[in-house]
Structure 1
């Protein structure tokens, strides 16, 4: 799997090697990594881990399940096929999408996959199960082991994808020696739930750990690159301060560098002010807020204000005041938090009973600046 060169990419070969060595030892066949959005996780996976895997003799497959949240099964099957049999990709889908409208249980499917349920081939999500099974069977014929990277893997935790998740788990279970899987996600709570909930298809299947974030070494490398390009080099101390003010978020820092290089005459302070404004404009917080119901907004306001026990009597009293109604019971924050921590919203993460934190610190700061639920 090749990706275009990025002159500003901060390579992390040692980290990529560490993950591959863990797979090579055979002690684990899968692991989960989480980091909030814009922290460089996907860039590392595509530009460091996958090329390192290919150099080590693996076939490498990558898909970001957010690219098609309605049909993750087809995305996974296509990623596997692109890695192990790219020239047969078109024929694979042609064979699987046979004109027969219905195939009953036990029917013979293309590629030798046996149907276990009635299959409506016009329904993409039902087609995904035999597609995954067929793609995994093709890996059995490959001479190479496969590294499969599922980015934003928490999409598989959605109830509507349960059948796909079960099929994938079953197929991977019998191929642990030949297929190594890295589940990556931007929601710690959702990713942990995938592997810790007893009823979940991937229960207890992979350890979950934080993705190592970029720090000063990243800033030093970027500043050195700026020095080679800019008429007015950016002082390291100034760049480090900007990185901290941007919540040590690599993508935001790159926005800052871009602004500085284009408008060097305005200075680094102006570049930082412009970037901070862009951060709040581009992240869509106002749109998210507008789409939330008033109870959800009220719960977010309390959490941003530092309220710890969101089910307690004090919190319920504040919710009544914010919402202007006495009709507030413990079920209101419970229902709101179920939505706010769910795989679709991913605004909050549960850290203890009744205790939650924001997944996005910038969103927390934005909510904290609000005064009312309206």
Structure 2
């Protein structure tokens, strides 16, 4: 985007209180928060949950599993080991860097990729390293472990890893609390909701509150403080609706308004769409195969047919470069790849899928 300025955080009313009430009740050791990307889950963690945990005297560690989603189990174990090494000897001593972004600020630790501590002698069994690291992490203080984009673990190559994670967490009850965030409904079901899921019934879900008129009013105050241009509140509210009520997207539009300094929301929206076409959604769609792109375009249509219906096959067959002998097996294979890319997810209704990435959906509906 090229827009690095961060707008003031707008709190999610009542959410941190709900999370802390669950975690301090002793009834559940974990909490899950699943919502589409760019809705503000990570901002909530950094601006509200971690500071609140510190006020309770808890130690916190944040690990983003999406940074290394091809090997999420390694991302978790090495992130834990990096934190232990940092706590013991400082962030910069005896650490080898490998695809790393790590930082510590305001008492919180974050590991966004991976560190390889020299002083650790890794066990050949990853599950043993996990057990050792988590046990050491929660050895003295109550610790809140935040696992961002936890659905990445649904694709872990080691089948026993998530089961081992649950076992260790249960062993550390009373000392280790876990806050899981994710953006994939498929991953949520695979990890937590299905009867045979590895973390079934181990955490209580909470909902991310929608932002409404109070969010728009707050953004209007921000704009009034920083620009003399007249901003129409109804137009800004309409832009929020057009953006699928996605806070990150509206903040980006507001930044375009600040740069232009003219209050023209339609022009700011056009700039926003252009930037995502060039560097985000547009670039992503260019990587898709013809049938995958056709499916994405069909799913972007309001009231689209079931993906395996006769109507769907006929619609897809008319798409350029689609084989006339299109079969449901080919459609299923394309959907499986799109699901792995976390572009689409089943809704729970038979044969019904939806686009999970809001930027991609808006891009397709705009017809660009």
Bin of the TM-score, shorter chain as denominator length: 0.7 to 0.9
Are residues 1:335 and 2:327 paired?
no
- Superimposed CA distance per residue, residues 36-92 of structure 1 (whole angstroms, 9 cap, x where no aligned partner): 111111111111111111111211111111122244334434554677774326679
1:1-374 alignment, distance < 5 Å: 8-12=8-12, 14-77=14-77, 79-80=79-80, 86-88=86-88, 93-97=117-121, 119=124, 128-142=126-140, 144-232=141-229, 234-265=231-262, 267-283=264-280, 285-305=281-301, 306-322=303-319, 324-342=322-340, 344-368=341-365
Q: TM-score under structure 2 normalisation?
A: 0.80
Give structure 2 stretches of 5+ with no counterpart. Answer: 95-115
Say which SS state the counterpart of residue 146 (structure 2) adopts.
strand
1:74, 1:132 within 8 Å by CA — same for their partners in 2?
no
Q: Which one is further off, 268-277 or 152-161?
A: 268-277
Distance 1:230 1:65 in 2: 39
Distance 1:241 1:311 in 2: 35
Distance 1:168 1:324 in 2: 44
The 1:337–1:207 alpha-carbon spacing in structure 2 relative to 1, beyond 3 Å, is farther
1:104 matched residue in structure 2:
none
The 1:87–1:179 alpha-carbon spacing in structure 2 relative to 1, beyond 3 Å, is closer
Distance 2:239 2:324 in 1: 45
- Superimposed CA distance per residue, residues 219-272 of structure 1 (whole angstroms, 9 cap, x where no aligned partner): 211221222222335343332222223222211211122122222136444333
1:73, 1:129 within 8 Å by CA — same for their partners in 2?
no
Deviation of 1:199 (Å):
4.8
The 1:216–1:145 alpha-carbon spacing in structure 2 relative to 1, beyond 3 Å, is same
Deviation of 1:6 (Å):
6.0
Q: Which one is further off, 63-72 or 76-85?
A: 76-85
Q: TM-score under structure 1 normalisation?
A: 0.79
- The alignment yields a C-alpha RMSD, in angstroms, of 2.9
Q: Which one is further off, 324-333 or 74-83?
A: 74-83
Distance 1:254 1:370 in 2: 23
More helix by share: 1
Say which SS state the counterpart of residue 203 (structure 2) adopts.
coil
Q: Which one is further off, 35-44 or 314-323?
A: 314-323
Distance 1:81 1:214 in 2: 37
Q: Larger Cα Rg: Structure 1 or Structure 2?
A: 1
1:60, 1:83 within 8 Å by CA — same for their partners in 2?
no
Say which SS state the counterpart of residue 202 (structure 1) adopts.
coil
